[in-house]
Chains A and B, each alone.
Chain A
Amino acid sequence: MSPSPFARLRLARLLLAAGTTVRALAWGVVAALTLLLTAAAVDGIVALALETRHSLRFVSLGAGLATFAALMWRDRRVWTLRRVALWLEERDASLAYTLVTAVETGDDTFVRSAQESAWTRSARTGALSAPIVPLAATVVALIVLLLLPAGAVARIRSPRPGDSIRGIASRDAARSRLSPLVARIEPPAYTHNQSSSIDDPIEIRPIAGSIVTFTGQGSAPGVVAHVNAESLAANTRDDEWSIRLVAGAKPIAVRFTDRSFERLVVINSIPDAPPVVTLRSPARDSVLRTPTGTLALSADASDDFGLTSAMFEYIVSSGEGETFKFRSGVIAGKPITAPRATHASITAALPLDGLKLVPGDIVHIRAVARDGNNVSGPGVGTSETRALRVARTGEYDSLAVEAAAPTEEAKNVVSQRMLIMLAEALERRRPRLARDSVVGESRSIAADQKRLRRTVGDVVFMRLGGTQSAEEHTDEDSPARAKTMQDLLARADSATNRSTDPIDFQGGESPVIAVNKPLLEAYNAMWDAGTQLELGEPGTALPHMRRALAAIEKARQAERLYLRGRAPQVVIDIDKARLKGKDKGSSSTRPGGAFTAGDSAAHALESRFVRAIELTPRNASAAIDSLSLLRIDALADNPSFAATLIPAIDALRRGRGADATAALARARRSLAGPSISRDSIARWGGIP
């Protein structure tokens, strides 16, 4: 059974709709391609900015869609049967409006079946012929597209930074090869940053240590980059020249020259800052009563690019007076494994028992972190240091009181006094004791006296000849030792002046001996006391012991005046001492000239600034270059002034005269300081 007229009509409608849709689509494509091709052609003449090319893609797409939509809207009636019927009626007069009538009435008996076959043919023909023209136009556009240089199309089709040199290369040999210019920045590997490209740079801010490659169109010979006093020639590759350099720590201006053309690019490196470390625990200095337990350590570290390690360092200082010993160590925290860890918290525990601390020891603790800078570093950041002190026995261990440790002499005083008390007690009990007991106890006191004498001897003889007392290292009763002791005594005797005459030193003798005269006296007195005590005569030993005590007291007065950490006030009688010195000085020359270096540099900057401003009305481009170079030179010494030049340079480049004037006025104030204004005429120069 053949399809009804309405069915055939619907088929015709479908065919016509397909045709119009294809036509609209084709015209949309043509519109988009035309825009793209026009943009590529324009870009070949005048290099379009990256943002413009980005937006052109969307504009082209939008234009294509708009064209498609507009045509579909215009031909929307193809979807109505009545319109299709009218269209068929226009092509077949024999229908005599029966088809339209049938559509309007819904009665297909109006239509003779002999006519139906012609509809489909007409509709097919119409559908096929509709898109012919736009498809032909599309083909033409595609041909043109293929004829254009790949680079030119790519710049429009997929614009990206650094493609400014990929446009249509100019065949004009006289043209400057410095424009367009692309800078490719490859940061140091440890930063884990991506490489980037900048088209037509004026200033670039790479990380210090980055490799910067400048590329332009054309051959290399004749293209040179001048950096300070150095000149770098370009290399050629694929009809492009390139120059490579490494961004140092200091800002530089790179001046490119190509015959009579010049171009300036500023490289203002970003330095890699060292890590910032904060010690959280221990939170403050403290004094420990007993050095046991475990000390919890924690710290935070941060870095701009990435940390590689963080740890705690400690130094243990043991000793007092002039004698100290030091031990140091490292406590590692949890290792930092993440490649770009810019923050880290480290914790550790410091077992105090393991440090074998004794009263008086001081432990200094700090946290240290390192970054991955393998160009100029690594950068090391350290925290504040905490000091933990182990309290001495009997010491007032308050955080508010910085009590100094008792000195050697102070300890000796205490010990000598105790020995005297023991000897006096023995002497009092002597009538009631057996001789053996007296001798035994007396020798016991003698042994203590000997130990004390050795301590004093260690101090005295270190200062004399730098060698420790031989007593410690040889057997007590050996003749060699005795000989050594006798020698020592002889030295001590000869060095100790028991008269009141001042010692007259020849050149080379240490004047320290004079200071330790009391200690030498104490040493000798102890020696005499020890001899008597060994013989079991405490009563005879007592005067020597008291003499030793007095000598030690005198030594404390002469050397360290510490009494529980407070230094005594020694007030000099200035009038009495005035000009009593034996020697006379001589006049000298005060160095000068170098002291003005700093201000000369500022003055030089001012002169250059003035010259650059004077250049502005005559040659804005030269003024911009002068200000750019001035900014580079000012970055180190006057960064605030350098910062004020940026808006001025920018305004001059954009041709905004009023903005440039205001910015230059601010720069002037920053450089030379503000003017001083008064609401009256100064009577006397600039005072007040």
Chain B
Amino acid sequence: MSAEFVFATAQYDSGDWDSAPLLPANIIDTIARYTEINVAPTGVIAALSDARMLRYPFLYLTGHLPVRFSDAERRNVRQFVERGGLLFIDDHNHDIDGVFHKTATEEIARTVAPLAELPNDHPLYSSFFKFDGPPTTSHELNGWGDNLVHKHLLAVQRRGRIAVLYSSKDYSSEWNYHPDSKRFLSVDNTRFAVNLVVYALTA
């Protein structure tokens, strides 16, 4: 049996990194429900300024507030990407005119490389469940944020693999609920997270 997959939430200094505290548990539950992947029952918090964040090759980063990396955070993120990690960033404001989007994309461009649209036929969308592109969330058109349905995710690729995946679709709100509430759903809206994790573990 392989080592555990540990869901790690990235902690950064400048903003509300912990704005979706139930998301890790929800995703862990989802992984267990659909796969046999050996997953740790709880998530961890990995400070980007600490080099130990490299021990978690999958990191989830979200927030509402501006994202400004310190020198230590930038250094670690750069090394994380170069060594093969996958950083998943989700704009909890889902607002491409908002400060999170502007600052986060600027920081990624400065630290790694500019983000580019990910084609909707990328293997990410068929790594476990089949999607025609990034699934729409119930928050995209709720009047908040930019009130747009974003047709693409953005990504930075390294050696043909996604190193940074960026979403303006507010999966953080979509998935931020206790896993017990899944029983109310006719279609599990966290299935795309399985694709994410399977892609991260196999690509």
Contact = CB atoms under 8 A, between A and B. Distances in A.
A and B touch in the complex (CB under 8 A): yes
A197 B71 CA distance: 41
Contacts of B194: 585
B34 A583 contact: yes
A582 B188 contact: yes
Interface residues of A, number: 62
B135 interface: no
A588 B25 CA distance: 26
B178 A572 contact: no
A314 to B, nearest CB: 10
Nearest to A593: B160
B186 A505 contact: yes
B73 to A, nearest CB: 10
A387 B143 contact: no
B199 to A, nearest CB: 9
B123 interface: yes
Contacts of B198: 585, 588
Interface string A321-336: 0101010100000000
Contacts of A579: 32-36
A570 B14 contact: no
Contacts of A679: none
A535 to B, nearest CB: 36
A589 B33 contact: no
Given A362-B65, A588-B123, A583 B203 contact: no
B123 A572 contact: no
Interface residues of B, number: 62
Interface stretch (A208-216, A227-235, A252-260, A509-517): A509-517
A590 B202 contact: yes
B41 A366 contact: no
Interface string A461-503: 0110011000000000000000000000000000000000011
Interface in A288-318: 315, 317
Nearest to B35: A585
Contacts of A364: 14, 65-66, 68
B173 interface: yes
A504 B62 CA distance: 30
A312 to B, nearest CB: 13
Interface in A513-540: 514-515
A174 interface: no
Interface stretch (A36-44, A182-190, A422-430, A554-562): A554-562
B142 A511 contact: no
Contacts of B189: 511
A585 B13 CA distance: 38
A362 B65 CA distance: 9
A621 B99 CA distance: 58
Interface in B15-30: 16, 18-19, 21-22, 24-25, 28-30
Given A322-B173, A514-B184, A595 B29 contact: no
Interface in A341-390: 362, 364, 366, 384-385, 387
A559 B172 CA distance: 12
B169 interface: no
Contacts of B191: 583
Interface of B: 13-14, 16, 18-19, 21-22, 24-25, 28-30, 32-36, 39, 41-42, 64-66, 68, 70-71, 92-93, 98-99, 103, 123, 126-130, 138, 141-144, 159-161, 173, 176-179, 181, 183-186, 188-189, 191, 194, 198, 202-203
Given A511-B184, A571-B41, 9 more contacts: A385-B66, A466-B143, A502-B184, A505-B185, A515-B177, A571-B42, A579-B33, A581-B33, A583-B191
28 contacts: A322-B64, A364-B14, A384-B68, A384-B70, A385-B14, A385-B70, A387-B68, A404-B18, A505-B184, A559-B22, A561-B21, A569-B42, A570-B22, A570-B24, A570-B25, A572-B28, A572-B29, A572-B32, A577-B32, A578-B32, A581-B188, A586-B128, A586-B129, A589-B123, A590-B202, A591-B160, A591-B203, A595-B160
